[in-house]
Amino acid sequence: MKTACLIFVLAVINTNPIFAADFLVPGIYRLEAGSNLGAAERMQARPGEMHVEHFEHAIPEAAGVTYAMVSHGAGTPRNKLIFLVDQDYRMDINGANRLCVAYAFPDWNDYSKAQPFCRTNIGAGEAVLKGRDSTFTVTWQPRRAFQRREQVAAERRPTPDEIGACALGVCEPAAYGRGIDHYETTYYADRFKLVTPRDYGDILYLERAVPVFAQADRASPVASLDAERFVAVLASGPDWYEVEHVRQDGSVVHGWIDRDDLFELKWVEQKARTKAFRFRVALRSGDDASEPALPVAIEVLDRRTGRRFQVLRDFVSEGQPADNAFLQVVDANFDGHPDITISGMSGGAGPNSTENVFLFDPVTRRFVYNEALSNLPQISIDTNRHTVQSAQRGSCCSHSAQTFRYIDGKLTLVAEWDESLSADGKWLVTTTGHLENGKLRYRTKRKKAQWN
């Protein structure tokens, strides 16, 4: 795979490590033959240097890469990219095989066992990915090696003016001679072009071997994928993923993966129940023994038959109550039908924590995630007064709270309170607001701050 050519030119070494915010079109990409000879960015020459340029592949020969696949879901802030490498390829950041198999960019910093996507452009030893629309390049920082210094003799005697100028440090090369520094510079680059557009919304890493089915049911197995493989997601539901696994040669295995098969889960029966349903919560272990198992799914079971009626996923929960008390039942929208909640973001030291709220739809008889309620920090639901309260702490000296009611079926802010210290630290400023005739009316008071 190694290609090199020698060209005597004047050059300067520079790289631009910023990946533009333009996103790549999702699909399957193919390496362009010979692109390493022209894909690298070469900068304008610097006087007094002579370079021999070499152009190498950015993709390690051992990786055997011809294809890559890229995902970008609607509204998602990044691309994910997988190089389809030889099954025996192993990344080695200290050797020639420094190419990571999987990248996420821009602004990716969530590497974990479950999300083994490398970030780009952070340090000199990491790949630079650049692209937009249907083409991208992968490059490494050029390697620049000094070879020798050549001294070029003077062509004539200096003039009196040149003697004066040289005394000040500006010596005319024709009169005093000059030195040329010789370097060898090696560029590493490869370019990929989209060959098969596909609506890949995400790329999943398989921690364990999973079966693939021809349809979204377990009666039609067509293949099995080994652990440590990647699949591109075409469609996602709470029970199934429609996926494609692209092999090293660009061929595709299409099918459905049961989401219960993806991870080792511990299903725990919950104490919370309704007249119609009982519930189980799926716990997934952390990356290591020091991390607690966290809830990743809620199973809704028909209380009479015990059959799965619904499964809820794709929420974030950081809470750690007793295993059988993750779930709570409450009528969160006061419609007479019990809803369910499970802990959301912890808020760090405690303030500003959230709850995931799923409202029961009596028409479909399904629980539906409610974003408005789930985004409220420190939510408190008063089923007697039919109010929803929220509170937050902005800093040591800034606190606020809101009260909501359902008016005509819509969650409506009816009261607000805020207390904070003035910028000069002399006053405690309190602002209250109340809904009057359909409008929030605010009043502000301040009093001298008391310091102990």
DSSP bridge pairs for 196: 28
Q: Compute and round to an integer the Cα radius of gyration of the chain.
A: 31
**Residue 67, pLDDT above cutoff 60:** yes
Q: Rounded to an integer, what distance in angstroms lies between the CA atom of residue 146 and that of residue 55?
A: 17
Give the global pTM: 0.78
Q: Give the pLDDT confidence score for residue 124 in this predicted structure.
A: 58
Q: Rounded to an integer, what distance in angstroms lies between the CA atom of residue 422 and that of residue 284?
A: 45
43 near 13, Cβ under 8 Å? yes
**Which DSSP helix (H) or strand (E) runs through 434?**
strand 427-436
| pLDDT per position as a tens digit, 264-307 | 899 999 999 999 999 999 998 876 767 788 899 999 999 999 99
117 near 127, Cβ under 8 Å? no
**Which DSSP helix (H) or strand (E) runs through 180?**
strand 178-197
Please write down the long-range contacts of 99-106, taking CB distance under 8 Å and 24 or more positions apart.
Answer: 99/58, 99/59, 99/60, 99/63, 99/127, 99/138, 100/127, 101/230, 102/203, 102/205, 102/230, 103/127, 103/129, 104/78, 104/79, 104/80, 105/19, 105/78, 105/79, 105/81, 105/129, 106/19, 106/21, 106/78
Q: Give the pLDDT confidence score for residue 138 in this predicted structure.
A: 92
Buried b / exposed e over 158-168, threshold 16 CB at 10 Å, is beeebeeeeee
Through-space distance between the first and last CA atoms of the chain, rounded to whole angstroms: 74
| pLDDT per position as a tens digit, 158-191 | 898 888 888 888 888 888 878 788 888 888 999 9
Catalogue the E-assigned strands of 247-397. 252-258, 265-273, 277-284, 294-302, 308-313, 327-330, 339-343, 355-361, 366-369, 380-382, 387-395
State the DSSP string of 281-310.
Answer: EEEE--SSTTSPPEEEEEEEEETTT--EEE
Q: Give the pLDDT confidence score for residue 308 in this predicted structure.
A: 96
Q: Give 208's contacts (C-beta < 8 A, 6+ positions apart).
A: 227, 261, 262, 263, 264
pLDDT band at 151; cut points 50, 70, 90: confident
What is the number of other CB atoms lying within 10 angstroms of the CB of residue 299? 22
For residue 160, give Cα distances in angstroms to 154, 157, 165, 416.
Answer: 16, 10, 9, 84
Q: How many whole angstroms from its chain centre is CA 125?
A: 21
Q: Which two tokens stand for residue 401?
A: 């709270």
DSSP letter (8 states) at residue 371: H
Q: Rounded to an integer, what distance in angstroms lies between the CA atom of residue 429 and that of residue 407?
A: 30
204 near 194, Cβ under 8 Å? no
| pLDDT per position as a tens digit, 405-449 | 999 999 999 999 888 887 777 888 888 889 888 899 999 888 887
Cα–Cα nearest to 330, from 305, 298, 364, 355? 355
Q: Give the pLDDT confidence score for residue 95 in this predicted structure.
A: 85
Q: Give the pLDDT confidence score for residue 21 in this predicted structure.
A: 53
Task: Verify cis geometry, omega within 30 degrees of 0, for the bond prior to 106.
Answer: yes
Q: Rounded to an integer, what distance in angstroms lies between the CA atom of residue 298 and that of residue 241?
A: 17
